[in-house]
Amino acid sequence: MIEVQNLTKRYGDKKAVDNISFTVNKGEILGFLGPNGAGKSTTMNILTGYLSSTEGVAKIGEYDVLENPLEAKKHIGYLPEHPPLYLDMTVRDYLDFIYDLKRCKIPRKSHIGEICRLVRIEEVYNRIIKNLSKGYKQRVGLAQALIGNPEVLILDEPTVGLDPKQIIDIRNLIKRLGKNHTVILSSHILPEVQAVCDRVVVINKGIIVADDTADNLSRQLSTDHKLVVRIEGPEAEVRKLLTSVPNMQSVVLLGEREKGVFEYSLEAKEGSDVRREIFNRLSNRSFPLLGMKTSEMTLEDVFLTLIDDKSKGGKK
Amino acid sequence: MGAIIKREMSSYFSSPIGYIYLAVFYLFAGFFFYMTTLQAGSTDLRGVFINLFSVLMFLIPILTMRLISEDKRQKTDQALLTAPLTLGGLVFGKFIAAFIIFAMGVAVTLVFAVVVSFFAQPDWAVVLSNMLGLLLLGGALISIGLFISSLTENQVIAAIGSFAALMFLSFIDSIAAAIPISFLSTIVKGFSFYEPYNTLTMGKIGLSPILFFISVALLFNYLTIRVFERRRWS
């Protein structure tokens, strides 16, 4: 449904997007993951025809965005990073305007009413957009993208500025929309992409570092072999015990957290799971295990891991 | 294009801009009508139209200042440029919206003509020629203001820029007169807005002033479209 081939966007000497290619199949939800400034918004702006690419092709369905922009744009609903709202209009007037702008053929009243119900903005329908909270503004932005029931939805960080409950609502909504729309969604939050998307494209500094299913990516990024544990007992003995666990590569003391309780950072061989072994050994010696967690992966770690894998030729 | 016209027109009246423009236009037009026609006991409306020339120089920038700059600032241009709408449709939609508001101001001169007609029959051909001239002049100036609005995100800069540009245009005749080399002077005079406008206010509906104003309007609307295109490619 969406096809991107060797897309490059240059701003002067700087390449915002560097020769990226990917496709999105019909009915798929694709996550576009990357830190700020990675080129996510630029790519989305090119796909929607707001910017043009320096090189390469972007196609929506069978239509090239550059050669046949009007046809391509008819099939896209776009929520930019900053929702394009006319602040001096009421939600009603604004959505009416967007409806006219997109030259919708669907019956106006029922279509707009349905969208408002879907994104839950009925209660602010007659208010001026300027006075709405950030969460509502974001949802009006989403409503605007949904008008005309486009086959392709391109959503640039749709959950930014929402409270946790709204985030869950919007994620569920996107999942539901994904059943009969093709969706590209960008985010800099790994769990969000994992929760919502079928497939994930990871982008950093304008280059794609991974393109895989969400499940595969989670497996690849699994951190079960990196643990932080908190154990009560004399440091030297505990350390010796931990080091003797098979596959253990490093044991680093992080410090004394309570009296006689120490925290250690452990790293075992990649792909091995040492959690049960640690528990068994500690309980044999009656050293109470007070806490164990897998160390959390930051987006930075994700890139390092992925780039590392790639350079080892480990891209599956 | 219809959607753009409708939104821009309603936006003129959801902010004070539309009201201020109309109030000031009516005020000056009424003042000139009183001074040059009623006071002078004449049925000739030419004085009104000749004086309105300079009033447009500072009123048109008020109409055009936010047309595109505000879209850039609020990033609503992202909705406009990613909608199934041509750039031409976008630019002409904005142009027509401003032109309609402008024409609502000009319409008051029709009232003046009707008032005059109670006293004596005005020369309707001259009145219509005057109104045509004013509308054409306004259209050309609006397209210049629209173009300047597309160059900035700041509506105050757009307003001052347009104001300066239009002021400069109104001085072209004096500049031409000051140039001693005759062929240069003729060339500069060719850019005069006052000359073709004056021809029309005298009731001479000729092709050349009409074409002049229409060409200026088309040229600057085209340049505005180019500004959008260039930004997309930058």
Q: For the domain that residue A291 is a member of, what is the CATH number?
A: 3.30.70.100
Domain limit, last residue, from A188, A219, A250? A219
Chain B closest CA to A141's CA: distance in Å? Answer: 10
Tens-place pLDDT, residues A75-96: 999 999 999 999 999 999 999 9
Tell whether A116 and A235 lie within a shared domain.
no
Q: Residue A32 above 60 pLDDT?
A: yes
State what percent of residues in chain B have pLDDT above 70. Answer: 100
**A130 lies within 8 A of chain B by CB:** no
| Pairing relationship of beta strands A261-268 and A226-232 according to DSSP bridges | antiparallel
Q: Are B29 and B53 in contact (CB under 8 A)?
A: no
Residue-averaged pLDDT of chain A: 87
Same domain for A61 and A208?
yes
Does the structure show a pLDDT above 80 at B206?
A: yes
Beta carbons of A80 and B232 less than 8 Å apart: no
Q: Which of A115, A185, A181 is nearest to A151 (CA)?
A: A181
- The residue assigned the tokens 């369905």 is A61
Residues A158 and A126 in one domain: yes
Section B112-136 average pLDDT: 89
Give the total number of structural domains in chain B: 1
Say whether both A207 and A233 belong to one domain.
no
A303 inside domain: no
The position carrying tokens 């508001």 is: B101
A contact residues 87-116, partner B, Cβ 8 Å cutoff: 87-89, 93, 97-98, 100-103
Do both A35 and A93 map to the same domain? yes
Closest CA of chain A from B85, distance in Å: 7
**Model confidence over B3-39: pLDDT tens digits?**
999 999 999 999 899 999 999 999 999 999 999 988 8
B156 neighbors B172 (Cβ within 8 angstroms)? no
Residues A95 and A200 in one domain: yes
In chain A, how many domains are there? Answer: 2
**Is residue A32 within 8 Å of A203, Cβ to Cβ?**
yes
Residue in chain A lying closest to B81 (CA):
A50
Q: Which residues contact B215 (CB under 8 A, 6 or more apart)?
A: none
Q: What is the pLDDT of residue A312?
A: 59
For residues B206-219, average pLDDT = 94
Residue A314 pLDDT level (bands cut at 50, 70, 90): very low
Per residue in A124-183, pLDDT tens? 999 999 999 988 999 999 999 999 999 999 999 998 878 888 888 889 989 988 888 999
Confidence of residue A14 (pLDDT cuts 50, 70, 90): confident
Residue A276 has pLDDT above 70, yes or no: yes
Nearest chain B alpha carbon to A79: B79
Domain that holds residue A95: 2-219
Q: Are residues A149 and A9 in the same domain?
A: yes
Same domain, A231 and A207: no
What confidence tier does A296 reach under pLDDT thresholds 50, 70, 90? low
Average pLDDT, chain B: 92
The answer to the question of residue A304 being in a domain is: no
A43 interface with B at CB cutoff 8 Å:
no
pLDDT at A298: 64
Q: Which residues of B touch A88 (CB under 8 A)?
A: 11, 14-15
Judge whether residue B188 has pLDDT over 80.
yes
pLDDT at A316: 37
- The Cα B50–Cα B46 span in angstroms is 6
**Confidence band for A310, pLDDT divided at 50, 70 and 90:** low
Q: What is the extent of the structural domain holding B187?
A: 2-233
The answer to whether the beta carbons of residues A104 and A111 sit under 8 Å apart is yes
Structure confidence by residue, pLDDT tens digits, B143-174: 999 999 999 999 999 999 999 999 999 899 88
The amino acid present at B175, given as its one-letter code, is: I
Q: pLDDT tens-digit profile of A40-64?
A: 999 999 999 999 999 999 999 889 9
Question: Quick one: A280 and A235 in the same domain?
Answer: yes
What would the mean pLDDT of A210-223 be, rounded to a whole number? 76
Is residue A316 domain-resident?
no
Torsion of CA B216, B219, B221, B222, to 10 degrees: 180
Q: Answer yes or no: do A123 and A231 share one domain.
A: no
pLDDT of A162 reads: 82
Nearest CA-CA distance, residue B217 and chain A, Å:
24
Interchain pair A97, B7: CB under 8 A: yes
Chain mean position to CA A225: 24
- What is the reported pLDDT for A211? 87
Bridge partners of A17, per DSSP, are A9
Q: A284 and A161, same structural domain? A: no
| Last residue of one domain, picked from the residues A219, A237, A263 | A219
Over its C-alpha atoms, chain A yields an Rg (Å, rounded) of 24
Contacts of residue A75 in chain B, CB cutoff 8 Å?
Answer: none
| CA pair distance A263, A59, nearest whole angstrom | 53
Range with the poorest average pLDDT among A213-227, B73-87, B153-167, B203-217: A213-227
**Lowest mean pLDDT across A48-62, A185-199, B98-112, B218-232:** A185-199
Q: Is residue A315 part of a domain?
A: no
Flag whether A149 is in a domain: yes
Domain boundary among A161, A192, A219: A219
Asked if residue A286 is part of any domain, the answer here is yes
ipTM of the complex as predicted = 0.89
More confident: B26 or B1: B26
Are A42 and A207 in contact by the 8 Å Cβ rule? The answer is: no
Q: Looking at the structure, do residues A29 and A149 belong to the same domain, yes or no? A: yes
| Mean predicted confidence (pLDDT) in A229-248 | 89
Read off the pLDDT of residues B45-102 as tens digits, 9 standing for 90 and up: 888 999 999 999 999 999 999 999 999 999 999 999 999 999 999 999 999 999 999 9
> What's the Cα-to-Cα distance from A184 to each of A50, A75, A157, A158, A224, rounded to whole Å?
16, 13, 10, 11, 30
Beta sheet of A63-64, edge-to-edge order: A14-24, A2-11, A55-60, A63-64
What is the rounded average pLDDT of the residues A221-239?
A: 83
Measure the CA–CA gap between B29 and B31, rounded to whole angstroms. Answer: 5
